[in-house]
Amino acid sequence: MRYAITTFGCRVNQADSLQLELELRARGGTRTSVDEADLVVVNSCSVTASADQGTRQTLRHIERVNPDAQVVATGCYASRAAEEIGALPGAPLVVPNDQKHTIADRVSSVEATTAHRYADGPGAGGAAVSPGVVGRVAFLLRVQTGCDQPCSYCVIPSTRGRGRSLDATHVLRAVTHAADCGFKEVVLTGVHLGSYGRDLARSSSLMQLLLALDTHRSAVTYRISSLEPMDCAAEIIDLVGSSGRFAPHFHLPLQHASDTVLRRMQRPYTLDAYRKAVDRVRHRMPHAAIGSDLIAGFPGETDEEAGRTLDYVSESPLTYLHVFPYSPRPDTVAARMPNRVPGPTIRARARALRDCGATLSRRFRERQVGTVRSGLTLESGADVLTDNYLKVSVPSGLDRNQRVRVRITNADPLAGSLV
């Protein structure tokens, strides 16, 4: 069976797609292009209206270029709007998020020739693969899914369900599998990663999981994916800063710098609390990458409130920004709020934030010139992803997935020399 997988959205979706790909390969599947595949899986996102649109466009494109393929639509948009997707040309098979783990069984009658499958979530199940074969050098591991935090703008709790964690034993087994396959970095992902362990029969926490990973027998290093500000405890920051096994890289979504807007968003923290977490990261790790998500044009956002966000981030220690123009999501609290911000105003505010983000990224790159960072070579061997999340061009000739040290010699474009 020849397959293709198209993934929209965050690293959680990417981790799900990686797990599916491993399972398909275990059943003898081989990756190919969309126009040549027997099976095409579209793993959708529904965070914004444009994400929904991208899924629809992709499914229509698949029908045009490969009408004979078996097409499966899964992910958050598929979970939220199954009938809408099922009515598209080609009538894709819709598999909701809570049944993603059944896709390989549904589309193949061939028994898996390897391995163990975990009950609810990703693990080592699937073929043994080398880094880069499935499109990534790092191994994306989803240790948690679902969310119990009712942000007023977010549709994800209704598409992913309640928070559910993968037992630490399974997480450690998956890390062993990744290490045995040759991966040198594991990226820990979750829809609400900071809530890890709260739902387990024997209550645990993200900190306890990180401590267990820190003593794992392998030599893999870890990168923590997006972490909500209220979950970024001082002890986690201090562990990352002292361990040597965790990348100095935090992604802490702020969403807005006005406490009034944060309350309307139903975000359970204040700007002051966020500032303290970010400042602690910068104090403990002067060269750390610190990213954030921001929403522009939330209902009722005034010029003054928008200005507070721009003022804070422009002077903050953040090193990159992901900016999302607000778009109403069906059946959310925010979709029913009055005082919608006009579209042109939303776009202008988003543009200003993106310009600010570009400035922050440039400043960070410039500060890194002359420093030596550890990293991994990427696909061609001509680029290195550093521990602090910089993609640096280096002299070619190395294989991918090589752990190296690189001296950053130029900021724009980023370039370096191997040490």
List pLDDT tens digits, range 78-103. Answer: 999 999 999 999 999 999 998 998 99
pLDDT of residue 112: 39
Res. 113 pLDDT band, cuts 50 70 90: very low
**Is-contact 257 309, C-beta < 8 A?**
yes
DSSP string, 262-289: HHHHT-S--HHHHHHHHHHHHHH-TT-E
Residue 41's H or E segment, with its range, is strand 39-44
Average pLDDT over residues 331-339: 96
pLDDT of residue 301: 98
- pLDDT above 80 for 126: no
pLDDT of residue 127: 55
pLDDT of residue 131: 81
The predicted-structure confidence for 209-264, as pLDDT tens digits, reads as follows: 999 999 999 999 999 999 999 999 999 999 999 999 999 999 999 999 999 999 99
Share above pLDDT 70 across residues of the chain, in percent, rounded to a whole number? 94
As annotated, the residues of the chain forming the CATH 3.30.750.200 domain(s) are 258-267+275-368
Res. 128 pLDDT band, cuts 50 70 90: low
pLDDT of residue 120: 41
**Could you tell me the pTM of the whole model?**
0.90
Between 352 and 1, the more confident residue is 352
Q: Considering the domain 258-267+275-368 in this protein, what is its CATH number?
A: 3.30.750.200
SS3 373: strand
Average pLDDT over residues 118-124: 41
The predicted-structure confidence for 184-200, as pLDDT tens digits, reads as follows: 999 999 999 999 999 99
Please tell me whether the peptide bond between 413 and the residue prior to it is cis, using omega within 30 degrees of 0: yes
Q: At what angle are helices 168-180 and 206-214 packed, to 10 degrees?
A: 40
As annotated, the residues of the chain forming the CATH 2.40.50.140 domain(s) are 370-418
Written as six digits, the tokens of 233 are 């405890």
Res. 11 pLDDT band, cuts 50 70 90: confident
**What mean pLDDT, rounded, does the chain reach?**
92
Res. 337 pLDDT band, cuts 50 70 90: very high
pLDDT of residue 136: 78
pLDDT of residue 117: 35
DSSP string, 71-135: EEEEEHHHHH-HHHHHTSTT-PEE--GGGGGGHHHHH--SPP-S----SSS--S-S----TTTTS
- pLDDT above 80 for 293: yes
pLDDT of residue 110: 39
Res. 122 pLDDT band, cuts 50 70 90: very low
DSSP string, 335-346: GG-SSPPPHHHH
pLDDT of residue 26: 86
**Is-contact 331 377, C-beta < 8 A?**
no
pLDDT of residue 134: 60
- pLDDT above 50 for 273: yes
- The class (CATH top level) of 370-418 is mainly beta
Residue type, 295: I
